[in-house]
Amino acid sequence: MNLALLLPFRLQHQLKLHTKLFNMSSCPKVFTFDLDGCVWEPEMYELWGGGGAPFKTTNDGETLVDKGGNIVHLLGDTRLIMKELKQNPLYKDAQINVASRCDEPSWARECIKKFKIEDGLYLSDVFQNMEIYKGNKTTHLKAIAKHCNVDLKEIIFFDNEVQHCYDVSKIGVTAVHTPNGLTKKLFDEGLSKYPLTSGEIVNDPKKRKK
């Protein structure tokens, strides 16, 4: 009997993906994520004019609401991906980081503390190092590489702004363009294509137009 036929389709897909990753010559040592427009929306600057901190949890931590009544929510499959990175043995040695140019770093850090992934697990339990300040994303990624004691080529980075992806790809980081936020499809595609040659990015809009 083929035991694979007895497994739920979703589990079969996960096993195939994990087998593929284990067969890769290498897997990223460091996963790094942008925040505004990638992990959550709206962007923090969009809360200016009466909104912003403090944030309160709603829907049992599923969403946050600022002092102006604006709702902040996680995008796409962010919750699923963060849970997988934290709990899947495949990533037990990986370091999970933030590289953000957010206009309100203190607001972002508060949101990270309050967004719940599942009972007993928050975004702050997943992210280990947070580089949140203005500047070219290459500065953020270089700081992360130094902090994590890894080569830039051992980092995979997810960002909704394509120019940031182009910038960091030139220093050896594998960059994944997530125009509509973090999704499982692009997360898996990024892993399957890691590591990329310098200058290339995953989900490059220039190539999609051809």
CA gap 132, 106 in Å, rounded: 9
DSSP class of residue 61 equals G
Which parts of the chain sit beneath pLDDT 70?
A: 1-25, 209-210
- Look at the pTM and tell me if it is higher than 0.85: yes
Burial classification of residue 150, based on how many CB atoms lie within 10 Å of its CB (0-12 exposed, 13-18 middle, 19 or more buried): middle
Cα 144 to chain center, whole Å?
Answer: 14
36: left (phi over 0), alpha (psi -120 to 50) or beta: beta
Decide if 197 contacts 175 (C-beta within 8 A). no
Are 127 and 96 contacting, i.e. CB atoms less than 8 angstroms apart?
Answer: yes
* Cα distance between residue 191 and residue 24, in whole Å: 9
- For residues 158 and 34, the answer to whether their CB atoms sit within 8 Å is yes
Gap between the terminal Cα atoms of the chain: 46
Give pLDDT, residue 210: 54
Q: Is 25 strand, coil or helix? A: coil
* 177, 203 Cβ separation under 8 angstroms: yes
Determine the 3-state secondary structure of 162 from DSSP. helix
* CATH of 26-46+75-208 among 3.90.550.10, 3.30.750.24, 3.40.50.720, 3.40.50.1000: 3.40.50.1000
The overall longest dimension of the chain from CA atoms, in Å, is 64
140-184 pLDDT, tens digit per residue, is 999 999 999 999 999 999 999 999 999 999 999 999 999 999 999
What secondary structure letter does DSSP report for 194?
P
Residue spans per domain, the chain? 26-46+75-208
Dist. CA 145–CA 113, nearest whole Å:
23
